Chain A
């Protein structure tokens, strides 16, 4: 059962999640070291593997506002975090879906650090507080990307379809 390891307020910007001064680093295997770099205590725990993979971060509204930097998603994905927020900023949400970071929109979520969380399809259960909170489904426009496991495999699938269609057309012409 995932525990809440970090509780955040509204309007957490991508500068908080992944400070701009580390933007020259782009590779997903290198970005996790700078996750929440300006929160020294939390960042140190992350780097020392004191936080179990797959833990939960709970945030307020507009999580991930600001920059389009994908490092803000890949650094969290590196720890397999589940992000439960009252709401997400647009670009961050799309980047998260594109890279397969698990994001949950739950507008009324109440949870504190240390609380145990269970995720159902339509509800978040805070076991510690014995409370249930509704989940808002992710934008329907993104469902096929989620189903494909991210935007890279989805685009690859689309690319193959286009090339196959072209190939078929070419064969028809030859016949």
Chain B
């Protein structure tokens, strides 16, 4: 029987010809990513070495990436002290792939990893962040783990006891209508299969729509695969993967393409007609509480958030800028824009998108995650409503359990910014 992409990746990472669903493996890790929670990883790492009479040393500093993005610049002395400890550790262990709070190297981890060419097709990538599923967009098997698990990876260079997961094949065909974006596909899919529909499974994306989608859009799909419970999302690598890695990530080395076998076994197959999808909204307080935009049109908004690891890439900012060009954000509404990295910020600046957004009344924020998870800037007041291009709308998510978050694409967010109400971008803002 043939293998899925993830089976092939795991076979390679364990030096085997084939692996089967359910096999228990210890794949070697190509990229081990952490952000501020590296502080906890360091504690556990040192704890493992306790009473061993061995000097604490990471397995391979080349495979470790640490990026500050969750609370940047530090919102509290506690965070600042943790960041300081991480800087010291990075220096001591010789970890070079460290991205500090700087405009020449900084940004959100799930943009920095692809942007700097750290992820390649066929890699095993782990991260102490649930949205590590993002990097499946480049054909890697990429999944989230906890801090203690990461400490173990730092020590051993492999991730222990991984069960080869079953794979759901999602085939998306058809042309997306104007103002319908990859975000709408993934929201639609999550609504269809539920927040637990892909638990302990991989979602492998196929079809013309995916074939014609840029890596940027694929990152959005894989980013939110975890919201259906998936261990990972993955797009088998193709010409577009190579184009992105060569042109945008400036990768010079050989890149291996890895595709599933034609007779690979899938747990289930889901087909989606992209031409029939309308802009989607995930209503409070569950990501699978999705509806077509027309069902919630007119809902009053207090805060618009555009950006994050889900939708903070150049194409996302471009969509928003084009809709908002020459228009003003409605009075009483505040709009926060979080570019996914400082490289994207600079590109958006060059293309004039930043000027357009600023002229319409938007606030351009530092690239980071703080607002999305409610730890740093952009908190909501009691009874307030946010419309956001981020990936989660759980109760309390934007820092206030007495507020509500609706999730949408950058097109819906920008059109709604003009009216101050949830608006279908196909009808346009007034």
Say whether B40 contacts A65, CB under 8 Å.
no
State the main secondary structure of chain B at its contact with A: loop
CA distance A164 to B32 in the complex (A): 26
Q: A145-B161, A152-B47 are in contact. Are A15 and B392 (CB under 8 A)?
A: yes
List, in ascending order, chain A residues with CB within 8 A of B52's CB: 156, 159-160, 163
Say whether A21 contacts B399, CB under 8 Å.
yes
Q: A19-B401, A70-B147 are in contact. Are A159 and B396 (CB under 8 A)?
A: no
Say whether B152 contacts A67, CB under 8 Å.
no
Q: Is A51 at the interface (CB under 8 A from chain B)?
A: no
Say whether B160 contacts A155, CB under 8 Å.
yes
CA distance A45 to B114 in the complex (A): 45
List, in ascending order, chain B residues with CB within 8 A of A140's CB: 24
List, in ascending order, chain B residues with CB within 8 A of A158's CB: 155-156, 160
List, in ascending order, chain B residues with CB within 8 A of A69's CB: 37, 146
B26-83 CB contacts (< 8 Å) to partner A: 36-37, 39-40, 43-44, 47-52, 54, 70-71, 75-76, 78-79, 82
List, in ascending order, chain B residues with CB within 8 A of A90's CB: 199-200, 229, 231
How many A-B pairs have beta carbons closer than 8 Å: the answer is 154
Q: Identify which of A15, A66, A91 contacts B145 (C-beta below 8 A).
A: A91
List, in ascending order, chain B residues with CB within 8 A of A115's CB: none
B119-172 CB contacts (< 8 Å) to partner A: 127-130, 132, 144-149, 151-152, 155-156, 160-163
Residue of B nearest to A71 (CB): B40
Q: A73-B146, A141-B24 are in contact. Are A20 and B399 (CB under 8 A)?
A: yes
Q: Is A23 at the interface (CB under 8 A from chain B)?
A: yes
Interface string of A6-18 (1 = CB under 8 A from B): 0000110101100
List, in ascending order, chain A residues with CB within 8 A of B229's CB: 62, 65, 89-90
List, in ascending order, chain A residues with CB within 8 A of B36's CB: 24
Report the minimum CB–CB distance from A8 to chain B (whole Å): 13
Q: Is B374 at the interface (CB under 8 A from chain A)?
A: yes
CA distance A69 to B374 in the complex (A): 14
Interface string of A63-93 (1 = CB under 8 A from B): 0011111100100000000000001011100
Report the minimum CB–CB distance from A20 to chain B (whole Å): 4
Residue of B nearest to A60 (CB): B196
List, in ascending order, chain A residues with CB within 8 A of B195's CB: 11, 62, 65
Report the minimum CB–CB distance from B262 to chain A (whole Å): 29
List, in ascending order, chain A residues with CB within 8 A of B37's CB: 23, 26, 69-70
Q: Is A168 at the interface (CB under 8 A from chain B)?
A: no
Say whether A141 contacts B48, CB under 8 Å.
no
Say whether A38 contacts B395, CB under 8 Å.
yes
Q: Is A95 at the interface (CB under 8 A from chain B)?
A: yes
Interface string of B203-247 (1 = CB under 8 A from A): 000000000000000000000000001010000000000000000
CA distance A79 to B185 in the complex (A): 41
List, in ascending order, chain B residues with CB within 8 A of A20's CB: 373-375, 396-397, 399
Q: Is A94 at the interface (CB under 8 A from chain B)?
A: yes
Say whether A66 contacts B54, CB under 8 Å.
no
Q: Identify which of B75, B148, B401 contacts A99 (C-beta below 8 A).
A: B148
CA distance A20 to B114 in the complex (A): 25
List, in ascending order, chain B residues with CB within 8 A of A95's CB: 146, 148-149
List, in ascending order, chain B residues with CB within 8 A of A66's CB: 130, 392, 394
CA distance A70 to B128 in the complex (A): 9
Q: Is B100 at the interface (CB under 8 A from chain A)?
A: no
Report the minimum CB–CB distance from A85 to chain B (whole Å): 12
Say whether B196 contacts A61, CB under 8 Å.
yes
List, in ascending order, chain A residues with CB within 8 A of B355's CB: none
Say whether B394 contacts A13, CB under 8 Å.
yes
Q: A15-B397, A91-B146, A98-B149 are in contact. Are A159 and B71 (CB under 8 A)?
A: no
Instruction: Given contact pairs A15-B373, A26-B147, enumerate 11 new A-B contacts (beta carbons under 8 Å).
Output: A13-B392, A26-B39, A66-B394, A67-B130, A70-B147, A70-B148, A98-B148, A142-B161, A155-B48, A156-B51, A159-B48
Q: List 24 A-B contacts (CB under 8 A).
A: A15-B397, A16-B394, A16-B396, A19-B374, A19-B401, A21-B374, A21-B399, A23-B71, A23-B373, A24-B36, A24-B71, A24-B78, A27-B43, A62-B196, A68-B129, A68-B145, A69-B37, A70-B146, A91-B145, A150-B148, A152-B48, A156-B52, A158-B156, A160-B52
Query: Which residues on A are within 8 Å of B, measured CB to CB?
Result: 10-11, 13, 15-16, 19-21, 23-27, 38, 61-62, 65-70, 73, 87, 89-91, 94-95, 98-99, 139-142, 144-145, 150-152, 154-156, 158-160, 162-163
